[in-house]
């Protein structure tokens, strides 16, 4: 009985936590989604039939995209309990290994989806916080000149706090969002009671008519309807933190009902008072509740922003360890929660881009034009990659896979094309960001492949080299030398330099290679592989998943049961640092080679990344032409 109680308490805690992290983005969409759907600029007559139709379109978008696609179906595609587009890419790539050539195409698709996610990471905090602060304009027009400055101050404070980690406020996120969703539901119910005819919006016929009877205007407004489902990717991306069950419970028992009631309530308000289209969310509340709601909405949007920022950190970590981005400083901010990390470089770049978006666009309405394109693109890519998982990993019937994928592609594609019409108005912003990040990611990946090929062509095979070396061995000195090598079958340049200049060998030599697998986690019992090469030489491979912390000294402690113990004070780590020289010819275009050389020059230290004590490191440089 006690175990059952503990399980229920744990599930309840995870469900409340999921409310704070997973549903922050989609939970704050009522601030701006309905307002944009009924924007007079769309040219659709503002009458009772269209109000019911617009709310119906929002309801069925939530039902199809979030409830059916993500919560019920996509969340089944977990990579050892981890979700997100990079985890999905790793799972799909592993499932099609027998099909030569498919892996590279999938990688390009997945990387582009990941790049678009960063575009979402810029727009979400900007539009969420800005739309919350805009509630001050409803209270009094005197606040209008201060909306953007207040938004910028809130965002700077949020990003400044990131270096402290989220553990100190994480416990507050869930309860705040519980209060938020409860108030959304209560406000919706209050307004529905005054105009119950809005309940007709549950009938999908109204959505179909609304989206089909107004020609080009119907297509344009589809992009505004999509604002209600942005944040659905977070359900899948944060699955590893909270688990499927807690995320599904939170959605079906609180989030979905609260959102449905609130959107219906906004529709009921508009039926009663068409002038409320100026800001139907805030005008749902009485005057005395306006300032408290602005405060609660700002807190909710900060939480929504936190979720996207944390997602950008996790995405970056996965991309680095899967070889799509250079090493960067990753700081663990919690001793207990492995997912709580802080990446200074990403943090400040995001802040600069977000502040630029807030100042440049100036209002949530203008930002709404930029919002949606990146997210809908990522959703479409997720659908495509999922096809390869359900077909080749799960071995489901081909016809079933094709029909279901085609259905969701039609939905995703319609939203993407509708958002594409906003390209000139602001959609270019996240798309440009995604294109730039995509270029960086594929250039880094290809550059590393070329670099490894060049170094391998000039390398000496390790095994015959050791045989000839120990025929007439140089003097050996006390201690252990660990050579970090990318290719475990080649002689490291650092060893050749050491022999040439010092003409000695340590009494114990380790050739160490770090290998990243296409899985989130590699358990400790599978972390280390040791191979004896004779003469106290060993080849060690350390295996990490893309969610593991690559702590080399800690991993080497796992060698003790195999008879290898390492005393830090008697161990030296030899590291080769390559200086990349771009040259015309084979490889990449010269501008890409120069970009790769710049990225390599500014990549984070391998010593810091692997947590190696800097006072035990000997770094030797070499030049490589690509």
Percentage of residues of the chain with pLDDT beyond 70? 95
601 occurs within a structural domain: yes
Could you tell me the two tokens for 255? 């989030």
pLDDT(170) > 70? no
pLDDT digits (tens, 9 = 90+) for 431-454: 888 899 999 999 999 998 888 888
Q: Are residues 407 and 481 in the same domain?
A: no
The least confident of 56-60, 157-161, 505-509, 542-546 is 157-161
449 occurs within a structural domain: no
Of 415, 432, 449, which residue constitutes the final position of a domain?
Answer: 432
Of 510, 496, 579, whose CA–CA distance to 541 is shortest?
510
258 occurs within a structural domain: yes
Q: Are residues 398 and 487 in the same domain?
A: no
66 occurs within a structural domain: yes
Q: Among the ranges 369-378, 437-446, 484-493, which has the highest mean pLDDT value? A: 437-446
Q: Are residues 401 and 464 in the same domain?
A: no
pLDDT(457) > 80? no
Of 267, 140, 273, whose CA–CA distance to 199 is shortest?
267
In the block, tokens 């959102």 appear at 259
Q: Please, are residues 219 and 415 in contact by the beta-carbon 8 Å criterion? A: no
pLDDT(239) > 90? no
Q: Are residues 121 and 210 in the same domain?
A: yes
Q: What kind and span of H or E run contains 477? A: strand 476-484
The domain that holds 61 is classified in CATH as 1.20.1740.10
Of 36, 281, 266, whose CA–CA distance to 137 is shortest?
281
Higher pLDDT, 109 or 330: 109
d(CA 535, CA 217): 77
Q: What is the distance between the terminal CA atoms of the chain, rounded to a whole angstrom?
A: 65
Span 20-29, average pLDDT? 82
N residues, the chain:
626
- 2 falls in which pLDDT band (50, 70, 90)? very low
Q: Are residues 323 and 370 in the same domain?
A: yes
In the block, tokens 């996509």 appear at 74
447 occurs within a structural domain: no
**Mean pLDDT in the chain?**
86
CA distances from 546 to 109, 132, 236, 449, 606 (A): 19, 36, 17, 19, 16
Of 432, 449, 474, which residue constitutes the final position of a domain?
Answer: 432
pLDDT digits (tens, 9 = 90+) for 344-353: 888 899 999 9
Q: What kind and span of H or E run contains 581? A: strand 571-581
Question: What's residue 172's pLDDT?
Answer: 65
Q: Are residues 181 and 301 in the same domain?
A: yes
4 occurs within a structural domain: no
441 occurs within a structural domain: no
pLDDT digits (tens, 9 = 90+) for 36-88: 899 888 888 889 999 999 999 999 999 999 999 999 998 888 777 777 788 88
Question: What's residue 340's pLDDT?
Answer: 63
Question: What's residue 171's pLDDT?
Answer: 57
pLDDT(118) > 50? yes
Q: Are residues 549 and 490 in the same domain?
A: yes
Cα 485 to its chain centre, rounded Å, is 30
Q: What residues contact 258, with CB distance under 8 A and at least 6 apart?
A: 27, 181, 182, 184, 185, 188
Of 432, 466, 497, which residue constitutes the final position of a domain?
Answer: 432
Residue 397, Cβ density class (10 Å: 0-12 exposed, 13-18 middle, ≥19 buried): exposed
Helix axes 48-61, 256-272, angle to 10 degrees: 170
Of 495, 544, 539, whose CA–CA distance to 521 is shortest?
544
pLDDT(336) > 60? no
Higher pLDDT, 513 or 9: 513
**Vertex 221: Cα angle to 215 and 223 (nearest 5):** 125
pLDDT(177) > 60? yes
Q: Among the ranges 122-126, 252-256, 332-336, which has the highest mean pLDDT value? A: 252-256
Higher pLDDT, 3 or 575: 575
Q: Are residues 422 and 464 in the same domain?
A: no
177 occurs within a structural domain: yes
Q: Are residues 355 and 260 in the same domain?
A: yes
Per-residue buried b or exposed e for 222-257, using 16+ beta carbons within 10 Å of the residue's own CB: bbbbbbbbbbbbbbbbbbbbbbbebbbbbbeebbbe
Question: What's residue 200's pLDDT?
Answer: 96
Domain containing 557: what range? 458-625
Radius of gyration of the CA atoms of the chain, in A: 27
Q: Are residues 30 and 130 in the same domain?
A: yes
102-106: long-range pairs with CB below 8 Å, 24+: 102/388, 106/385, 106/388
Predicted TM-score (pTM) above 0.85: no
Q: Are residues 296 and 422 in the same domain?
A: yes
Count of structural domains within the chain: 2
Span 418-424, average pLDDT? 86
Q: Are residues 471 and 365 in the same domain?
A: no
Span 510-534, average pLDDT? 90
């Amino acid at each position: 009985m006690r175990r059952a109680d503990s399980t229920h308490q744990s599930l309840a805690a995870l469900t409340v936590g999921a409310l704070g992290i997973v549903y922050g983005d989609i939970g704050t969409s009522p601030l701006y989604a309905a307002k944009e759907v009924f924007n007079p600029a769309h040219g659709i007559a503002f009458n009772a039939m269209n109000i019911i139709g617009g709310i119906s379109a929002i309801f069925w978008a939530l039902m199809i995209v979030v409830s059916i696609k993500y919560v019920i179906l996509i969340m089944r595609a977990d990579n050892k309990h981890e979700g997100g587009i990079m985890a999905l890419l790793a799972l799909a790539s592993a499932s099609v290994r027998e099909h030569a050539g498919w892996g590279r195409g999938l990688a390009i698709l997945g990387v582009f989806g990941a790049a678009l996610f960063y575009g979402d990471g810029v727009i979400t905090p900007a539009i969420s916080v800005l739309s919350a602060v805009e509630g001050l304009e409803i209270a009094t027009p005197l606040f209008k000149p201060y909306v953007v400055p207040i938004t910028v101050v809130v965002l700077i404070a949020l990003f400044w706090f990131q270096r402290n980690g989220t553990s100190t406020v994480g416990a507050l996120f869930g309860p705040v969002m519980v209060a938020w969703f409860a108030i959304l539901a209560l406000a919706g119910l209050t307004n529905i009671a005054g105009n119950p005819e809005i309940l007709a919006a549950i009938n999908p016929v109204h959505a179909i008519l609304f989206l089909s009877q107004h020609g080009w205007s119907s297509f344009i407004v589809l992009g505004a309807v999509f604002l209600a489902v942005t944040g659905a990717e977070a359900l899948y991306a944060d699955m590893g933190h909270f688990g499927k069950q807690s995320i599904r419970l939170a959605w079906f028992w609180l989030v979905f009902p609260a959102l449905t009631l609130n959107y219906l309530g906004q529709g009921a308000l508009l039926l009663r008072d068409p002038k409320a289209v100026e800001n139907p969310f805030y005008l749902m509340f009485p005057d005395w509740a306006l300032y408290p709601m602005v405060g609660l909405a700002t807190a909710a949007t900060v939480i929504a922003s936190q979720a996207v920022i944390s997602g950008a950190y996790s995405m970056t970590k996965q991309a680095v360890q899967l070889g799509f981005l250079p090493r960067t400083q990753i700081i663990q901010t919690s001793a207990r929660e492995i997912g709580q990390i802080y990446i200074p470089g990403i943090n400040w770049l995001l802040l600069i881009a977000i502040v630029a978006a807030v100042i440049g666009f100036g209002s949530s309405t203008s930002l709404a034009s930029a919002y949606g394109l990146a997210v809908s693109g990522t959703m479409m890519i997720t659908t495509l990659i999922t096809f390869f998982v359900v077909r080749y990993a799960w071995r489901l019937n081909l016809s079933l896979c094709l029909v279901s994928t085609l259905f969701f592609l039609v939905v995703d594609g319609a939203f993407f094309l509708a958002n594409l019409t906003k390209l000139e108005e602001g959609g270019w912003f996240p798309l440009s960001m995604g294109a730039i990040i995509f270029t960086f990611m594929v250039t880094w990946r290809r550059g590393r492949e070329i670099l490894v090929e060049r170094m391998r062509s000039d390398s000496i095979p390790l095994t015959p080299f050791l045989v000839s070396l120990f025929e007439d061995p140089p003097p050996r000195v006390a201690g252990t030398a660990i050579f970090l090598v990318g290719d475990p079958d080649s002689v490291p340049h650092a060893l050749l330099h050491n022999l040439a200049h010092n003409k000695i060998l340590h009494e114990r030599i380790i050739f160490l290679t770090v290998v990243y697998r296409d899985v989130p986690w590699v358990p400790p019992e599978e972390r280390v592989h040791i191979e004896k090469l004779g003469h106290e030489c060993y080849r060690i491979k350390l295996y990490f998943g893309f969610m593991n912390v690559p702590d080399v000294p800690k991993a080497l402690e796992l060698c003790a049961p195999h008879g290898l113990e390492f005393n830090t004070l008697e161990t030296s780590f030899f590291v080769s640092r390559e200086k990349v020289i771009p040259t015309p010819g084979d490889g990449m275009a010269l501008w890409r080679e120069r970009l790769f050389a710049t990225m390599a020059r500014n990549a984070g230290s391998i010593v810091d990344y692997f947590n190696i004590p800097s006072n035990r490191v000997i770094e030797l440089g070499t030049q490589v032409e690509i």
